[in-house]
Chain A
């Protein structure tokens, strides 16, 4: 079954055709990787899918509905949550609070209920807290619950950011370079974590430069160059694909 279907999307910035008639599908419960040389348009594709940028043309179908006209907030409400290449945690908030923000779409207390401290909000807050602790247990960061999130080590900040996204209980998780800036041990841990997330039933799309990580965990890989798809296949086949090798390593001549 297809969870996300990207159909012929294009995006132009002035004279630069950043994404050109790109199409691919993601099957429910799989890990798909989006790779390509620097400047290939990977982050733009991410921004288009997650509603941060509107595509010039083409459709994006998520869970059976077209979403290309929706804002990033509306896309998140429908169950697609992203992380950022440059970690975007909320400063002045603890790890627990950061993750609690992730429960936003699954709770409903509004301005009036909050101001009046209505009894139904107490129960809701308790559930938000419990669920957040569950996620911190799962990720092994429960010891840092009360620490200001941005004071943690870089690798742990990445884990918190993923935890915050998981708190939304997404159907599709978009990870923008989850291993960037991590050492080898942390990268291995990240790979194991992403596989575990997939096993929990969350479909994953990731942009990543670390090829060994991509080849190890992905079910399928899409390769883009200059905004166009040049290959889409299983990791082993991608490694042997002549066009992919040419794009990455250059021509023989």
Chain B
């Protein structure tokens, strides 16, 4: 247990070191992309739990990210002033609504971000349970196809829905207030606090998932992944555990969607796109599937490079190529113990050769 939290502490140290480095080199503007990277990393680690530990693929996680982001964006920008009625006044009195001013100085009455976040998570849980129940009965390619379908449905819905902004998405989303006067916002004056907030959320998520992996449930998931019929024979409700893990990882994606939408001040349909889902899976794969730290570190590097524009117009292509190369040459991911001997094997063109003992 001590080792588990030592690694977490080391990672927190790395996050501090990165911030200090940007401070020392006068490149604090990098923190914006690093903060966005943190929220994408939340999706990645949740998906890693599903793929690597429960052994189920999802090519639809951008859909859950978008459900979270769009519900938060819609509810916190939907002006209820023109909808005065019993329900609205009741909500208003109970503190569920907030009055605020838009960028042009007009006054708005919108849903409180916390309530919107709760609604986003609840909707995600409901959708994940409803679709997860039937589709998790599928295996392998069939499950991949079904989850891909869900991602596409969410994408087409947000793209085709007028009140969700269609192709433009939703903008002017307010910040997300936290206790202690903190605010999740892209405002450059709170860049440093938002960087730490975002990575704080990721570290919290990591602690929860690491605990889970090392618990009775984590062991059971390993059993389900390894030999489903034997797990069933040991009294493990395999279908239920797969579904719970699916919902858990969907909630991670939705929360990331909510927080990044507040940080960016908006969300567009590209966040729900299939290529986003492919990217998430590619990063989990290159991190080593059943390796939360591998997935997190690969997410940190690759999302950052992508967001800084290093991949240019080939952005999506890069992640597609990564996925193909990983599947061909290193299906256990890049970060693992036998990396060197595997590289030698690939170089010596002997893909069937056994690893040296």
Contacts and interface: CB of A to CB of B under 8 A. Distances in A.
- A and B from one complex: yes
A72 interface: yes
A134 interface: no
A91 B224 CA distance: 11
A114 B234 contact: no
A115 B208 contact: yes
A239 interface: no
Interface in B171-228: 208-209, 211-212, 215-220, 222-223, 226-227
A124 interface: yes
Contacts of B235: 73, 76-77, 81, 104-105, 168
B209 A101 contact: no
A242 interface: no
A196 interface: no
B227 to A, nearest CB: 5
Interface stretch (A10-18, A82-90, A218-226): A82-90
A52 interface: yes
A102 B234 contact: yes
Contacts of A109: 215-217
Given A76-B235, A101-B219, A168-B235, A115 B230 contact: no
B162 interface: no
B216 A93 contact: no
Interface in A42-63: 50, 52
Given A90-B230, A91-B227, A93-B226, A100 B219 contact: yes
Contact of B211 (A91, A101, A104, A114): A114
A64 interface: no
Given A50-B233, A89-B227, A114 B238 contact: no
A66 to B, nearest CB: 19
A89 B211 contact: no
A90 B229 contact: no
Contacts of A82: 233
B227 A90 contact: yes
Nearest to B213: A114
B211 A88 contact: no
Interface string A93-128: 100010011101101011101111100010011001
Given A82-B233, A164-B234, A114 B215 contact: yes
B228 to A, nearest CB: 9
Q: How large is the interface on B (under 10, 10 to 19, 20 to 34, 35 or more residues)?
A: 20 to 34
Given A114-B217, A114-B218, A105 B227 contact: no
Nearest to A100: B219
B345 interface: no
B229 A101 contact: no
A91 B226 contact: yes
A92 interface: yes
Given A71-B232, A88-B230, A93 B223 contact: yes
A93 B222 contact: yes
A107 B223 CA distance: 16
For chain B, what secondary structure do more than half of its interface residues adopt (helix, strand, loop), or is it mixed?
A: helix
B282 to A, nearest CB: 23
Contacts of B150: none
B232 A92 contact: no
Interface in B241-286: 244, 248
B28 interface: no
B309 interface: no
B231 interface: yes
A239 B69 CA distance: 73
B236 interface: yes
A156 to B, nearest CB: 17
Contacts of A81: 233-235
B134 interface: no
Contact of B236 (A73, A93, A125, A165): A73
Given A91-B226, A114-B217, A73 B237 contact: yes
A130 to B, nearest CB: 15
Interface string A10-53: 00000000000000000000000000000000000000001010
Contact of A73 (B209, B212, B238): B238
Contact of B217 (A50, A91, A100, A110): A110
A89 B248 CA distance: 27
Contacts of B223: 90, 93, 101
B216 A124 contact: yes
Contacts of B244: 111
A92 B224 CA distance: 12
B230 A117 contact: no
Given A104-B234, A115-B211, A116-B211, A128 B216 contact: yes
Interface string B274-301: 0000000000000000100000000000
Given A77-B235, A91-B227, A101-B220, 12 more contacts: A52-B229, A52-B232, A84-B229, A89-B226, A92-B226, A92-B290, A101-B236, A109-B215, A114-B211, A114-B215, A125-B216, A128-B216
Interface of B: 208-209, 211-212, 215-220, 222-223, 226-227, 229-238, 244, 248, 290
26 contacts: A72-B229, A72-B232, A73-B233, A73-B236, A73-B237, A73-B238, A76-B232, A82-B233, A88-B227, A90-B231, A91-B226, A93-B219, A100-B219, A101-B219, A101-B220, A101-B231, A104-B216, A104-B236, A105-B234, A113-B215, A114-B216, A114-B217, A115-B215, A117-B215, A125-B215, A168-B234
